[in-house]
């Protein structure tokens, strides 16, 4: 009669037999087989963190382990850890020049397996200017932004671009985004107003709706012009009519009138001459 315990014994014996024969089979083959190097996935079993760093943040370093590591573990005894690890310069030489501060690669690229994502902005800070001299030179000019460090605005990670509204809570609510703010305020030197001819009339309208409306409704030649064509270079600059028109009329006739506007009205809507 078959009871529980005999069944169990039989099963155990069967399993034992099966595994022995597997071992025997494997034993026959194993020394005939070539030794395959660990695949990247096999390395990852023990070095999971390295694997996930590469996978998620590796960027151009997302390569198989052995592309970079040929000497590791203790296979070559007597080597120091440094000698067992690949060196950045071995593959990249000195991409940022030979300035002392630029040679300590891991000081900035703090994780070899996430070389860009791991850029340490605190360690970068003293060296921003060596790669971005434009912003640094502008920021050296006196302005209310001049006392700020680069990282106060470019926080979190290298390359982060802040919005103006992060700090300014829409001072003139008509402008929606940083790009529109910067049409007038160059961010690294807010003491000057960037008055290129390229600023369209719309942003000026936010604060000068009267002038804008007149210019829009006017039907003479001034209505074709940009505000900044006349109010050039600097905010608040007011040109005289003569700057552009010299002496358009007989000086004797002009002498009888105080100003051009007596006949032409506002420069923004130019009453037709009578």
Determine the Cα–Cα distance for residues 88 and 54; give it in Å rounded to an integer: 16
Find all residues with CB under 8 Å of 174, minimum gap 6, and list them: 203, 206
- The binder of ligand HEC chosen from 221, 250, 251, 252 (CB under 6 A): 221
**114 binding ligand HEC? (CB under 6 A):** no
Q: CB of residue 4 vs ligand HEC: minimum separation in angstroms? A: 41
Give exposure, 162-184, as e/b (b: 16+ Cβ within 10 Å).
eebeeeeeeeeeebeebebbebb
- The binder of ligand HEC chosen from 23, 106, 197, 233 (CB under 6 A): 106
- The binder of ligand HEC chosen from 34, 134, 142, 251 (CB under 6 A): 134
Q: Stretches 7-15, 21-29, 196-204: which one binds ligand HEC (CB under 6 A)?
A: 196-204
The torsion of the CA quartet 164, 170, 176, 179, rounded to 10 degrees, works out to: -30
Binding mask 30-69 for ligand HEC (x = CB under 6 A): --------x-x-xxxxxx--xx--x----xxx-x-xxxxx
Binding mask 243-262 for ligand HEC (x = CB under 6 A): xxx--xx----x--x--xxx
**204 binding ligand HEC? (CB under 6 A):** yes
99: left (phi over 0), alpha (psi -120 to 50) or beta: beta
């Amino acid at each position: 009669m078959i009871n529980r315990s005999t069944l169990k014994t039989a099963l155990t014996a069967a399993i034992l037999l099966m595994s022995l024969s597997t071992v025997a089979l494997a034993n026959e083959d194993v020394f005939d087989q070539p030794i395959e190097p660990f695949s990247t996935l096999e390395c990852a079993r023990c070095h999971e963190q390295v694997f996930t760093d590469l996978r998620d943040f590796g960027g151009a370093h997302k390569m198989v382990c052995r592309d970079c590591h040929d000497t590791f573990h203790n296979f070559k005894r007597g080597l120091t850890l440094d000698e067992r690890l690949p060196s950045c310069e071995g593959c990249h030489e000195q991409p940022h020049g030979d300035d002392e501060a630029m040679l300590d690669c891991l000081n900035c690229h703090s994780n070899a397996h996430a070389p860009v994502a791991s850029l340490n902005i605190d360690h970068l800070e003293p060296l921003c200017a060596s790669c971005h001299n434009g912003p640094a030179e502008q920021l050296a000019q006196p302005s209310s932004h001049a006392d700020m460090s680069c990282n106060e605005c470019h926080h979190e990670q290298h390359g982060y671009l802040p919005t103006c509204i992060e700090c300014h809570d829409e001072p003139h609510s008509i402008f929606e985004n940083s790009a529109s703010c910067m049409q007038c305020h160059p961010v690294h030197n807010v003491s000057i107003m960037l008055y290129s001819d390229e600023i369209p009339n719309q942003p000026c309208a936010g604060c000068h709706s009267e002038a804008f409306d007149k210019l829009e409704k006017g039907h003479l030649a001034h209505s074709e012009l940009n505000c900044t064509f006349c109010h050039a270079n600097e905010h608040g600059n007011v040109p005289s009519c003569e700057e552009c028109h010299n002496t358009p009329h007989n000086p004797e006739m002009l002498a009888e009138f105080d100003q051009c506007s007596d006949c032409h009205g506002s420069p923004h809507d130019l009453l037709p001459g009578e």
